[in-house]
Amino acid sequence: MDRNAFHTLVLLTKNVGGLADSKSMSSGEKLEIFLNILAHHEKNRSIKFDYIRPGWSVSQSFNECLCTILKLTPFLLVNPKPVVGDETEDRWKWFEVGCLGALDGTYIPIRVPTQYKPRYRTRKGEIATNVLGVCDRNLNFTYTLPGWEGSAADGRVLRDAIVRRNGLKILEGNYYLYDGGYTNGKDFLTPYRGYRYWLKDWRRDNPSPRCKEELFNMRHSKARNVIERAFGLLKGCWGILRSPSWYSVKVYNRIITACCLIHNFIRREMEVDPLDIGMEEQVEYQHENIDVVESSEEWTNWRDKLAQRMWNERFSN
């Protein structure tokens, strides 16, 4: 975050979020301490020496800023815009009108009491929380759901997100891209299973697509990669998300949400994000709202027609 963006955030937190100066600390210094802790995962004892402030004051400032950032959710969470008929960007022009972006889950390390560790243990044996992230075509987060245990399947997390009262809402006719770990259901478009998919499968000496399913998967992967890049930027910017923290699970989930909101703010205020340079091909890791995620023959047939159209246009051009 550059200096101009920081000053804009200070004004936003004061005028909209209600962050106030105290007798011994300005709102700007409070926000600086907060961002320092998020970016470098600094401990309270380090911050109090760096800023010459008592530990209780540092802790109080952090909690004030965290609450303030969460109050700014309506201003910082982006409303996605669907692909339109005259789309020119090569990554998205192959998908019909209505594509909003992509979604996926990611693991973020977390520290939990011993009795809860089996629930938070991932398939790789790490203790983490499963976070659902949804982003638009410009890598802005439009919805996040932290808090699920690492052992929870991505599909289960998604089902929870769409049935929540203030959860993920998708208007009829719109849809998101996501990977093969989910069900190919209405308004959630997945790739073909059993065919090459990941971006590394198309690099170097690997052959080009040999059928419509592989061509669809390649273009699907290039478009859906925006969520991988968004997660990469998020973890690259905020060190507190890269290693377990001593904060409680409830507070840590709020921290994850706050990091996503500030991520959106940075992308809005800064013309060039230094972390975004070189991440174009981020390496993958494995009116009526839609309120169910079930496989659909109609949706599968629509995907087949879309793939066939891509295949036909490839040779007609």
- Vertex 170: Cα angle to 148 and 147 (nearest 5): 10
Phi-psi map region of 302: left, alpha, beta (phi>0 left; psi -120 to 50 alpha): alpha
pLDDT digits (tens, 9 = 90+) for 125-161: 999 999 999 999 999 999 999 999 999 988 889 889 9
Distance (Å, whole) CA 256 – CA 234: 9
- Look up the pTM and report it: 0.88
Beta carbons within 10 angstroms of residue 144's beta carbon: 23
For the chain, the maximum distance between any two Cα atoms, rounded to a whole number of angstroms, is 71
State the pLDDT confidence band at 279, using cuts at 50, 70 and 90. Answer: low
Q: How confident is the model at residue 290 (pLDDT cuts 50, 70, 90)?
A: very low
Tell me what percent of the residues of the chain surpass a pLDDT of 90: 52
Q: What is the per-residue pLDDT for 89?
A: 82
Spatial distance between the Cα atoms of 277 and 26, rounded to a whole number of angstroms: 34
Tell me the mean pLDDT in the region 162-181: 86
Helices (H), 121-248: 154-163, 212-237
